A and B are shown apart, each in its own frame.
Chain A
Amino acid sequence: MISRLTARRAVRSGVIFGYIFGAATASSAISYTRFYKTAAQRDALAAAYGSNRATSALFGPAPQLQTVAGFTVFKISMTLILLGAVWGLLTSTRLLRGEEDSGRWELLLAGPVTRRGAVVQALGGLGAGVGALWALTGLITAVTGLDASVGIAAGPALYFAVAMTAAPVMFLAVGALTSQLAGTRRQAAAYAAWVLGVSYAVRLVADAGLGLHGLIWASPLGWVEELRPLTAPAPLALVPIAAFTGVLLAATVYLAGARDVGAGIVPDRASRRPHMRLLGGPTALAVRMVRPAVTGWWVAIAVSGLLFGLIARSAGGTISGSSVQVLTRLGSRGNGTDAVLGVCFLTLAVLVAFAAAGQITTARSEESAGRLEALLTRPVSRCRWLGGRLLVTIVVLLASGVMAGIFAWAGAASQHAGVSFGTLAEAGVNLVPPAITIAGAGVLAFGVWPRGTSIVLYALLGWSLLVVVIGGVGGVSRWVLDTSVFHQMASAPAVPPHWEADGVMTAIGVVGALAGGLAFRRRDVQGE
């Protein structure tokens, strides 16, 4: 029963992600064959990226860039690994701790099933989701490989799918374990996200060309990288992956039987002294409630900004000749350090946009969980509540942008990269308009189709990201490119910000938010 219920939901999202993984792989492979036809072009690409510390740190090493397979692995594998890891930890915490939080597990556990038995069944269901992810990724890669110019055989394609599924499997297990440790779904996801963050940071240092490559074996993401699919397969790296997953799953099953249903192993203090700050009204409450998540985003943005600043100069130094053309396709038109920072700021723009989406989905969850009614049945108007939340969102986004600029400048200045504070502060502010557009679209969805708020937000974000990543290699029509908010953003500091385009994006966001606010005023308050 539990395994069937879990499998149904896990397979559904596994299929969606399998399709995304397959489509990203296929588009990357095919666009390479179209845009890098001659050996000279491919050599130039390899010269630009083959020993580039910055891209190596961010995306992993780039061997065999002269081949379709090598380029594909370099271009997309780290993105897919991270995306898959996030999918894994969110899926398992949602289907394990989330289901327990909702009280549905108690109904099932009242039947003839033990707590350990229930978790084993749920893990089986999650396994079905992983199977779907692996099968679709492998199938689409293998079919793409049939194309003579791509030329990836079925065996390597399936091994590639194994490598792309390894991070999801490990982080499903991490999420399963943190679901036993933490008392709430949010806490479980936060613990798992910290594990992912540390894994990525360790791998990044290992690949940054600082002579610390041995550290790669200290990071689960490093093990995935060491599988080296499509280039120099090393299946031995599956051993630590399998061992890590096995240990975590065994601990999960053990702990599931050693704790009470609804409680975590890490004790949650039931009582504490009251903290009466930020309880003065709905806006103050919004600030209080979003603090933990916003702190997480700000840490991620600050650390990334600092890191990009630190590596920009050395990375920029390796760029020459035709590699400028590659960066141009990715949106950068400058040279050297500025050009590298231009591409790095795209990553920061994605982080800021995700922070914006998080703010709007949190607002919706106040409504769907019924908590909003506790405020709206008091003398608090819908406008005041939503306006307050949007004000908090704007402040969070502006601060995120400015912080990205400041930390990138701090990193770059420490390396004497010669990039001015003003330029990077401006580039930081330039990150905000796409996030405002995303937030505005989210508020519009919240107003007219509240239950679809997160679907609209994450579909828009995913689409914008996909278009700009694929568009970076070329071969995407102008019309399609224009639908991506990240494409509309000038890749400052490589080029000066397009304030006009930023103004249009901000205006679209504001109009969306106003229309959404008006619709919200008129519609019924709706639960889940």
Chain B
Amino acid sequence: MAAAAIRTEGLTKRYGDVAALDQLDLEVAPGEVVGYLGPNGAGKTTTIRLLLGLISPTGGRGEIFGLDCQRQPVEAHRRLAFVAGEANLWPSLTGAETLRLLGRAWGSGVDEAYRDELVARFELDPAKKVRAYSKGNRQKVILIAALMTRADLLVLDEPTSGLDPLMEQAFRGSIREARDRGQTVFLSSHILSEVEALCDRVGILRQGKLVELGTLAEMRHLAALTVEATFAGAIPDLSGVPGVSSVQADGRVVRCQVRGPIAPLLKVLAAADVTELLSREPSLEELFLAQYGGGA
């Protein structure tokens, strides 16, 4: 069996009394696209820095394709490409020089034609010095530097910060291409629509602990289903139906939210004269907010 692209066992990082990451058990299969969510300070970047071997764990261990992140960082890095949320580069180098440097530092397998294609796709002017780039353009440089390697694993930490909506689309296209090629993607992001659009599975981190991990379908239980029913005649009383909450009536239209099994509600609605029934699954944003007590 092929080794997991990412595997952690009890991975922990403490700073004094504060656990930045607490007992993380995570496994990402080759070819998967996994989103990694959490508010600021939840431990997302700490996880990534531990996986990259930039910091040492206080406990537990992490592996990239079976290679120990701490003991075999160079071997592990041959299999991955990383995009940081903030592009700290050499101000006096131009974009083209930076891409050459980062390509050479990665190894010999960089496809220069693909690099040039990415430069065109992200509309980067490679003759400009890094010092003269905007934040978004600097971010494009490190995105291209990572994508051009076609590494087996892409580790992305807030990769689209500073990108405009058009470039965000170009990014999503590139990630889909990577997935189609069989690359694994580990995407830490604040942009929930991005994660929803790209990821097979989503992990949610809270105060250093992984509180949810699964497909979006598996996670629907976290938040309520929104149901909207239109009646021809009298509106039934839905307030006592098990699992139903937030009932709002507007003329002949009733909106409510349902947690758990929907059968009790359907039984009540079937007995009434329903002319139209709409139901909507919770979005990732609603799931996320539900996890953090912000609503839904």
Contact = CB atoms under 8 A, between A and B. Distances in A.
B77 interface: yes
A376 B54 contact: yes
B106 to A, nearest CB: 5
B125 A374 contact: no
B100 A378 contact: no
Contacts of B94: 271-272, 274
A187 to B, nearest CB: 10
Interface string A263-295: 000001111111110011110010001000000
A16 interface: no
B10 interface: no
B88 A374 contact: yes
Contacts of A280: 104
A373 B88 contact: yes
A276 B142 contact: no
Nearest to B52: A377
Contacts, number: 94
Nearest to A273: B127
Given A377-B52, A525-B54, A184 B129 contact: no
A379 B106 contact: yes
Nearest to A368: B88
A37 interface: no
A102 to B, nearest CB: 13
Contacts of A525: 49, 54-55
A524 B127 CA distance: 34
A370 B88 contact: yes
A251 interface: no
Interface in B43-88: 49, 52-56, 73-75, 77-78, 82, 84, 86, 88
Contact of A378 (B54, B77, B126): B77
B88 A272 contact: no
B74 A379 contact: yes
A371 interface: yes
Interface string B83-110: 0101011111110110011101111000
Nearest to A385: B105
A380 B82 CA distance: 13
Interface in B105-129: 105-107, 125-129
Contacts of A270: 128-129, 131-132
Contacts of A268: 129, 131-132
Nearest to A380: B105
A270 B95 CA distance: 11
A271 B94 CA distance: 7
Contact of A524 (B54, B104, B105): B54
A106 to B, nearest CB: 13
A369 B86 CA distance: 11
Given A275-B97, A282-B105, A369-B88, A184 B131 contact: yes
A342 B129 CA distance: 46
Contacts of A370: 84, 86, 88
Contacts of A285: 90, 101
Contacts of A183: 131
Contacts of A281: 104-105
Contact of B127 (A184, A271, A279, A374): A271
B129 to A, nearest CB: 6
Contacts of B84: 370, 373-374, 377
Contacts of B77: 377-380
Given A271-B132, A272-B94, A375 B105 contact: yes
Interface residues of A, number: 33
A371 B129 contact: no
B89 A371 contact: yes
A373 B131 CA distance: 18
Interface in A421-460: none
Contacts of B132: 268, 270-271
Contacts of A523: 56
Contacts of A381: 73-74
Interface string A372-410: 011111111100000000000000000000000000000
A241 B53 CA distance: 55
Contacts of A371: 88-90
Contacts of B102: 374, 378
Contact of B97 (A269, A274, A282, A524): A274
Interface in A135-192: 183-184
Contact of B100 (A272, A279, A375, A524): A279
A180 B90 CA distance: 22
A478 interface: no
Contacts of A376: 52-54, 73
Pick from A270, A279, A525 the residue with the most CB of B within 10 Å.
A279
B91 A378 contact: no
A269 B132 CA distance: 9
Interface in A31-66: none
A289 B102 CA distance: 15
Given A273-B127, A274-B96, A524-B54, A380 B74 contact: yes
Contacts of A184: 91, 131
B110 to A, nearest CB: 11
B90 A271 contact: no
Interface string B210-246: 0000000000000000000000000000000000000
Nearest to B97: A274
Contacts of A271: 94, 125, 127-129, 132
A270 B134 CA distance: 12
Contacts of B82: 377
B101 A279 contact: yes
Contacts of A416: none
Pick from B55, B75, B88, B127 the residue with the most CB of A within 10 Å.
B88
A522 B77 CA distance: 17
Nearest to A377: B82
Given A268-B129, A268-B131, 7 more contacts: A184-B131, A276-B97, A374-B142, A377-B54, A377-B77, A378-B77, A380-B74
Q: Which 5 pairs between the two chains have the least Cβ-Cβ distance?
A: A370-B88, A270-B132, A524-B55, A274-B96, A377-B82
22 contacts: A270-B128, A271-B127, A272-B94, A274-B97, A276-B100, A279-B97, A282-B105, A289-B90, A369-B88, A371-B90, A374-B84, A374-B102, A376-B73, A377-B82, A378-B102, A378-B105, A379-B78, A379-B106, A380-B74, A381-B74, A523-B56, A525-B54
Interface of A: 183-184, 268-276, 279-282, 285, 289, 369-371, 373-381, 522-525
